[in-house]
Amino acid sequence: MLIGKDDLKNAFILNSSPTFKGYFYMGTDSDYHYFESRWDLQIDRYFKICKADLKVYDPFDFGTNQLRIDLLDNTNSIFGENKYYKLYIVKE
């Protein structure tokens, strides 16, 4: 699912549900950054954001790796940002 400019503000939200496993960055291609929100008891959600709508500081090729990210900073390692939020790398 493509997250367009109208939905960009709500692409990442703070989620305290015990079944929410987190947001994962899946990589970038020539046009999009790819993400997955993972759940224990619900269907995982896959989405992409246009590269122009989110600055990712150290992108990697789609399908080569994955990285857990969050809105809360627990590592001082910023992953990316736009005008609505900053995303941080989760220390596992």
Q: Which two tokens stand for residue 32?
A: 């999009």
Instruction: Order across the sheet with 55-56: list the strands.
Output: 2-3, 45-50, 32-39, 20-28, 67-70, 86-89, 78-81, 55-56
Cβ density class 2-41: b for 16+ within 10 Å, e for less: ebeeeebeebbeeeeeeebbebbbbbbeeebbbbebeeee
Q: What is residue 54's predicted lDDT score, i.e. its pLDDT?
A: 95
Q: Domain tally for the chain?
A: 1
The Cα–Cα gap between 20 and 18 comes to 6
| pLDDT tens across the length of the chain (92 residues) | 888 777 788 888 877 788 889 899 999 999 999 999 998 888 889 999 999 999 999 999 998 999 999 998 877 799 999 999 999 999 87
Q: What is residue 8's predicted lDDT score, i.e. its pLDDT?
A: 81
pTM of this structure: 0.89
Q: What is residue 76's predicted lDDT score, i.e. its pLDDT?
A: 79
User: In which domain, by residue range, is 11 found?
Assistant: 2-89
